[in-house]
């Protein structure tokens, strides 16, 4: 039925386009019309589709509550007496039976008999509403067509009207992203406020103890819950530092090579390759960290460690486990590799934006390439590169998958890169996966962490964009 | 063969005067020209023979030969795309930095082929300064801009020596009085004309023998242009200057020799006065009277 309706509307739209065009030509009477026939056609399509769509959207939004209301109004008393969620389940099963299906639950005596009748009623109400919506939509389309039919004249500014609609549609699309962001912020803030109602913000921001387990029953011991996020911030910061220590020099140097030294052909091969690296899903980097880099580094450091300790074996014939697979160094290194293409691609763009005249000026003074890079290019591009690095930092802080797989879960307050640490993002993941109780501080802590993370990365991004933008202006 | 271009850079006295053996050497060689019309000019400094330049498939110069005298201004004129800037860029091997560019022919500077494999283009460019169309000061302070060349070539052994070099270069570029009190302000903050003089100061701070100027006034207003022209006239006493210009009036005002380029060839070369008052070629006449270009 929906398909028939859609086909009908499409045919109607095409017809109104052709009709609008014909009409515009026919009514021009030798006068030069303001808009071309095709624009009248588009005007007609909009005139027909816009009211039809509006009605359709209204119908789909309001049909469900109306349906519920109608069902509730006519239902027998026994059904009324059910608890709200049981009643909902009954109505849903009734619908299923009415549509010719099976009930999901087994209902006891009075309800089992009521199912078929209630089901038929639900089916009818649903069909009625659906038909009503579609009919209203078709009527709206026809009325719109009539309106257009009356309006089309040589002096109608169809062109401007179509333009206004185009602007409107583009604006609506742009707004979706912004509104979504605003929605995200509101939900974050709302749940964070609930969290900070239970745990004081001071404890959260400055406490050094993180153990979010909370006693579910009163007789459980040892799980009172501590929400000091400092170890998480420290872990995030440590991993970010390691990642930047890898990504900043390697990314920057490869950008210098690409923009200043590489021949056109090398550049044409290497740059796309680097950008492909940027497209590798972070889960894949996560595997790489957890299954390749982690064990390799563990063996490496344990071997060194056992030399220092004085023997490779402990009493059970095992390597001394001085270091585990999961450590800050592994996550940091792999994250750094992930960020290399990001840093190099941005820095490359920025260095290319430095005018050739500056390079020429330096070469003409008898400077070599590396002198030119060091003394002219890098100072000129420095603000932009700083911006690029800040953007990379903000990504490193927000990165989740690699750290989840390679950094570990222990919230330790340490700066030792060989220790297991945990980050803000990892904790959000662990707090929110699985079955959760949505009014315990344990779950809500995720929103507190999320808000903190959001604020930090937002500030970093704003500062970075500012820097990059002012740098761009400098050479325009 | 003269090994001057492979030597270590000359030392400079506090007034920017070259001192030491290398400097004396640089003033000695070069054939004299027996052309009576050129009586007031120095000996031939650069001699280009049959220069061909290719950018990939495209040939920009079709065998150009030109003798450039020392202690004089030689103007290269001609319509856009005629190859005059390309020719200028062969004189300090700046075309080496253009991917796909190829230069054929022989360019002798003081009798030595600058395209020879033994010549280090980096040292050559220290000897042949260049000023570009758009002022291109580095995003550094005025002082650092001028000190750039002396620093990378190690011309100054102490801070005060460096300051002396910077000061004398700025003085010779006629910029000292305007910037003496703000040497550490950014060079990009100067006006267009001041920036161009700063760039000239930067070029002469390494005490080159030749200065190439690629339309140095095309981005400047008339007053700044007049100042630069005055400066070029003063610099002529010490350097061999080659200037590319679009302005016939400028060529007539500042140069002693003029070469007219057209479609990658030199149509006519001669004393500026002769070219502008009594051209031998029809095309030259048409160009200088504004009938094309």
Q: Is the pLDDT of residue A263 over 90?
A: no
Spell out which residues of chain A touch residue B153, defining contact as CB-CB under 8 Å. Answer: 366
Spell out which residues of chain A touch residue B97, defining contact as CB-CB under 8 Å. Answer: 359-360, 363
Domain map (residue ranges) of chain B: 4-288
Whether residues A460 and A317 fall in one domain: yes
- A375-402 mean pLDDT: 89
- A369-393 mean pLDDT: 89
Query: Are B98 and B58 a contacting pair, CB within 8 Å?
Result: no
Do A361 and B129 lie within an 8 Å CB cutoff?
no
* Full residue range of the structural domain in which residue A243 is found: 206-474
Give dist(CA A131, CA A133) in Å, integer: 5
Is A164 among the domain residues? Answer: no
Of A93, A123, A156, the position where a domain reaches its end is: A156
Q: Is the pLDDT of residue A321 over 70?
A: no
Give dist(CA B261, CA B281) in Å, integer: 12
Is A124 among the domain residues? Answer: yes
Q: Which residue has the higher pLDDT, B24 or A254?
A: A254
Spell out which residues of chain A touch residue B8, defining contact as CB-CB under 8 Å. Answer: none
Task: Give chain B's end-to-end CA distance (angstroms, integer).
Answer: 42
Whole-angstrom CA distances from B282 to A419, B70, B151, B285 are 85, 29, 49, 5
- A407-428 mean pLDDT: 85
- A248-274 mean pLDDT: 90
DSSP letter string over B234-268? HHTTTSEEEEE-S-HHHHHHH-SEEEEEETTEEEE
Of A156, A171, A192, the position where a domain reaches its end is: A156
Is A174 among the domain residues? Answer: no
Q: How far is A366 from chain B (nearest CA, A)?
A: 4
Whether residues A149 and A211 fall in one domain: no
- A238-259 mean pLDDT: 94
- A52-59 mean pLDDT: 91
Q: How far is A244 from chain B (nearest CA, A)?
A: 27
pLDDT at site A3? 84
Give dist(CA B195, CA A361) in Å, integer: 13
pLDDT at site B16? 43
Do A364 and B130 lie within an 8 Å CB cutoff?
yes
Whether residues A325 and A245 fall in one domain: yes
Q: How far is A367 from chain B (nearest CA, A)?
A: 6
Whole-angstrom CA distances from A130 to A135, A378, B195 are 9, 66, 75
Tell me the three state secondary structure of residue A316.
coil
| Regions of chain B where pLDDT drops below 50 | 1-4, 6-39
Of A364, A379, A474, the CB nearest to B140: A379
Largest CA distance in chain B: 57
Exposed (0-12), middle (13-18) or buried (19+): which is A48, by Cβ within 10 Å? buried
Q: What angle do CA A318, A319, A321 make, to 5 degrees?
A: 115
Is A192 among the domain residues? Answer: no
pLDDT at site B128? 92
Please tell me the least confidently modeled range out of A181-190, A364-373, B28-37.
B28-37
CB atoms within 10 A of CB A434: 6
Give the total residue count for chain B: 293
Q: B101 forms bridges with which residues in the sheet?
A: B55
Is A276 among the domain residues? Answer: yes
pLDDT at site A208? 84
Give dist(CA A43, CA A21) in Å, integer: 9
Class at the top of the CATH hierarchy for domain B4-288 = alpha beta
Whether residues A112 and A216 fall in one domain: no
pLDDT at site B28? 38
Q: How far is B260 from chain A (nearest CA, A)?
A: 25
How large is the C-alpha radius of gyration of chain B?
19
Is A427 among the domain residues? Answer: yes
Strand B112-113 to strand B101-109: parallel, antiparallel, or no bridges (unpaired)? antiparallel
Whether residues A97 and A228 fall in one domain: no
Instruction: Give the total number of structural domains in chain A.
Output: 2
Identify the CATH number of the domain in which residue A242 sits: 1.10.3720.10
Task: Tell me which long-range contacts A98-106 makes (C-beta under 8 A, separation of at least 24).
Answer: A98/A122, A98/A123, A99/A123
Is A178 among the domain residues? Answer: no
For A138-181, the pLDDT digits (tens) are: 999 999 999 988 888 888 888 899 999 999 999 999 999 999 98
Is A375 among the domain residues? Answer: yes
pLDDT at site A319? 52
For A60-82, the pLDDT digits (tens) are: 899 888 888 888 887 787 777 88
Task: Give chain A's end-to-end CA distance (angstroms, integer).
Answer: 58
Do B149 and A365 lie within an 8 Å CB cutoff?
yes
Q: What angle do CA B80, B82, B84 make, to 5 degrees?
A: 95
Tokens of A396: 């490193």
Q: Is the pLDDT of residue A455 over 60?
A: yes
Interface of A with B in 370-429 (CB under 8 A): 371, 375-376, 379-380
Whether residues A132 and A232 fall in one domain: no
């Amino acid at each position: 039925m929906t398909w028939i309706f859609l086909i009908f509307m499409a045919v109607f739209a095409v017809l109104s386009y052709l009709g609008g065009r014909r009409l515009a030509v026919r009514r021009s009477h030798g006068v030069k019309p303001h808009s071309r026939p095709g624009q009248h056609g588009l005007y007609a399509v909009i005139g027909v589709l816009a009211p039809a769509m509006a009605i359709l959207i209204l119908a789909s939004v309001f049909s469900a509550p109306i349906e519920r209301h109608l069902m509730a109004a006519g239902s027998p008393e026994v059904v009324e007496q059910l608890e709200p969620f049981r009643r909902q389940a009954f109505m849903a099963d009734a619908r299923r039976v009415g549509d010719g299906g099976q009930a999901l639950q087994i209902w006891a005596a009075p309800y089992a008999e009521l199912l078929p009748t209630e089901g038929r009623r639900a089916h009818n109400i649903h069909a009625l509403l659906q038909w009503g919506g579609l009919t209203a939509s078709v009527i709206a389309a026809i009325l719109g067509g009539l309106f257009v039919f009356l309006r089309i004249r040589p002096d109608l500014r169809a062109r401007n009207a179509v333009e206004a609609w185009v602007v409107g549609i583009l604006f609506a699309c742009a707004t979706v992203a912004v509104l979504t962001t605003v929605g995200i912020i509101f939900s974050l803030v709302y749940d964070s406020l609930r969290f900070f109602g239970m745990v004081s913000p001071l404890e959260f921001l400055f406490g050094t103890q993180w153990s979010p387990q909370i006693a579910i029953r009163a007789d459980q011991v040892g799980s009172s819950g501590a929400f000091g996020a400092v170890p998480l911030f420290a872990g995030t910061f440590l991993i970010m530092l390691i990642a930047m220590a890898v990504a900043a020099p390697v990314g920057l140097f490869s950008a210098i090579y690409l923009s200043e030294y590489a021949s056109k052909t090398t550049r044409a091969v290497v740059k796309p390759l680097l950008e492909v690296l940027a497209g590798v899903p972070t889960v894949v980097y996560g595997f790489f960290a957890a299954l390749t880099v982690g064990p390799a580094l563990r063996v490496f450091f344990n071997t060194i460690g056992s030399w220092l300790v004085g023997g490779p074996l402990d009493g059970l014939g095992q390597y001394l486990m001085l270091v585990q697979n999961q450590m800050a160094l592994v996550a940091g290194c792999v994250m750094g590799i992930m960020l290399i293409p990001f840093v190099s691609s941005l820095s490359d763009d920025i260095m290319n934006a430095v005018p050739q005249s500056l390079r020429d000026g330096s070469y003409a003074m008898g400077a070599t390439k590396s002198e030119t890079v060091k003394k002219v290019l890098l100072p000129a591009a420095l603000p932009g590169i700083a911006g690029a690095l800040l953007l990379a930092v903000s990504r490193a802080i927000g990165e989740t998958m690699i750290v989840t797989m390679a950094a570990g879960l222990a919230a330790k307050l340490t700066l030792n890169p060989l220790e297991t640490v945990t980050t803000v993002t990892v904790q959000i993941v662990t707090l929110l996966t699985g079955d959760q109780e949505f009014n315990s501080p344990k779950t809500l802590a995720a929103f507190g962490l999320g808000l903190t993370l959001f604020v930090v990365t937002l500030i970093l991004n704003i500062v970075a964009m500012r820097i990059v933008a002012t740098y761009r202006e400098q050479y325009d | 063969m003269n090994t001057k271009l492979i030597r270590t850079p000359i030392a400079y006295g506090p007034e920017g005067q070259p001192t030491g053996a290398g400097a004396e050497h640089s003033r000695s060689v070069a054939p004299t020209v027996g052309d009576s019309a050129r009586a007031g000019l120095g000996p031939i400094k650069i001699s280009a023979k049959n220069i061909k330049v290719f950018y990939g498939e495209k040939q920009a110069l079709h065998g150009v030969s030109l003798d450039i005298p020392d202690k004089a201004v030689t103007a290269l004129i001609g319509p856009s795309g005629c190859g005059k800037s390309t020719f200028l860029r062969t004189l300090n091997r700046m075309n080496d930095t253009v991917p796909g560019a190829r230069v054929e022919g022989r360019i002798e500077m003081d009798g030595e082929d600058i395209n020879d494999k033994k010549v280090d283009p980096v040292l050559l460019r220290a000897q042949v300064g260049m000023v570009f169309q758009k002022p291109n000061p580095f995003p550094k302070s005025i002082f650092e801009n001028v000190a750039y060349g002396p620093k990378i070539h190690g011309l100054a052994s102490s801070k005060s020596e460096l300051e002396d070099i910077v000061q004398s270069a700025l003085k010779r570029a006629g910029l000292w009085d305007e910037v003496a009190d703000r040497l550490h302000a950014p060079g990009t903050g100067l006006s267009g004309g001041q920036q161009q003089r700063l760039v000239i100061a930067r070029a002469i701070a390494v005490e080159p023998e030749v200065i190439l100027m690629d339309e140095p006034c095309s981005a400047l207003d008339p007053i700044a242009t007049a100042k630069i022209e005055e400066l070029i006239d003063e610099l002529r006493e010490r350097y061999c200057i080659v200037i590319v210009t679009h302005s016939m009036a400028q060529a007539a005002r500042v140069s002693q020799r003029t070469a007219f380029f057209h479609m990658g060839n030199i149509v006519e070369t001669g004393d500026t006065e002769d070219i502008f008052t009594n051209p031998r070629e029809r095309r030259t006449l048409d160009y200088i009277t504004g009938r094309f270009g």
